Amino acid sequence: MVRKMAFAILVFALGLFGVSRVGGLPAKIAVGGAVAWAQDSTPADDAADDAAHDDSGGDAVPLNKKRPHHVAGPWCGSIYDNQLGSGNLSVELHQRGTSLSGRWSDDLGFSGTFTGKIKGDAVTGRVKKRHSKCKVAVVATLVAPDEITGSYTQFGCHQSDGGTFDITSPSC
C-alpha cells in the first residue's frame, strides 16, 4: 500500500513538473494554469478605451484590470445621525485611480475631510471631523452610477455614534 501511494505521489509530481516545463510556460502560467491571450482590437474598442480614462491624467490601465467606477465630483443628499437626527450632507470627491479624497459638510454642524478607496461597487474610508479627535469609519455602496448609500461609525470619542447616508450626483 505504501509503495502504491509513493508511486502515485511520484507520478503526480513528475506530471506537474513535466507539464509546467512544456514550451517554457512556467513564467507565463499563474497558479491554476490560467493563460491570457491577446485579442485584436477594432477602432470602436480603441475609442471606448480612450473614453474610459479618468480625469487624473489618463494613465493606461492594463487590459486585465477593470477600471474603477468614476465618482469624482459633487455629491449631496440626506444623512441620518443616530443622536442628532436627519440632515443634509454635501461631499466633493476627488479621485485618482481607486483612491478618493475630498471635503464634506452637513447641516448638523459638522464638516471635515474624507479619504478612502473604491473597489468595485464598495466605497470605504474615513472621515476626519474638523476640530475633533473622533474617528469616523465609512462603509458605502455605489448602488447606481449616480447614487452612493452607506453608513458611518464614530469611535474614539466620549460617546460612540453612527448613522446612515444616501447621496446622489450631480444633483448638487
Q: Are 21 and 95 contained in the same domain?
A: no
Q: Which residues contact 165 (CB under 8 A, 6 or more apart)?
A: 77, 78, 79, 80, 89, 140, 149, 150, 151, 152
DSSP element (H, E) containing 43: helix 43-51
Residue 15 is assigned to a structural domain of this protein: yes
Please report the pLDDT score of residue 5 as a whole number. 56
User: Which sign, positive or negative, has the C-alpha torsion 85, 101, 117, 52?
Assistant: positive
Domain count, the chain: 2
Residue 7 is assigned to a structural domain of this protein: yes
List the Cα angle 113/114/117 in 5-degree steps: 160
Please report the pLDDT score of residue 128 as a whole number. 87
State pTM to two decimals.
0.60
By three-state DSSP, how is residue 139 classified?
strand
Residue 51 is assigned to a structural domain of this protein: no
Residue 26 is assigned to a structural domain of this protein: yes
Kindly state the cell numbers that stand for 68: 474603477
Q: Are 101 and 21 contained in the same domain?
A: no
Please report the pLDDT score of residue 35 as a whole number. 45
Residue 88 is assigned to a structural domain of this protein: yes
Q: Are 24 and 104 contained in the same domain?
A: no
Burial of 152 (0-12, 13-18, 19+ CB in 10 A): buried
Confirm if 81 and 90 have CB atoms less than 8 A apart: no
Query: Tens-digit pLDDT profile for the chain (172 aa)?
Result: 656 655 656 555 555 454 444 444 444 444 444 444 444 444 444 444 444 444 444 555 555 567 888 999 999 999 999 999 999 999 999 999 999 999 999 999 888 999 999 999 999 999 988 878 888 999 999 999 999 999 999 887 777 789 999 999 877 6
The residue segments making up the domain with residue 12 are 2-38
Domain CATH number, residue 139: 2.40.128.120
As a three-state string, the secondary structure of 92-137 is: EEEEECCEEEEEEEECCCCEEEEEEEEECCEEEEEEEECCCCCEEE
Residue 54 is assigned to a structural domain of this protein: no
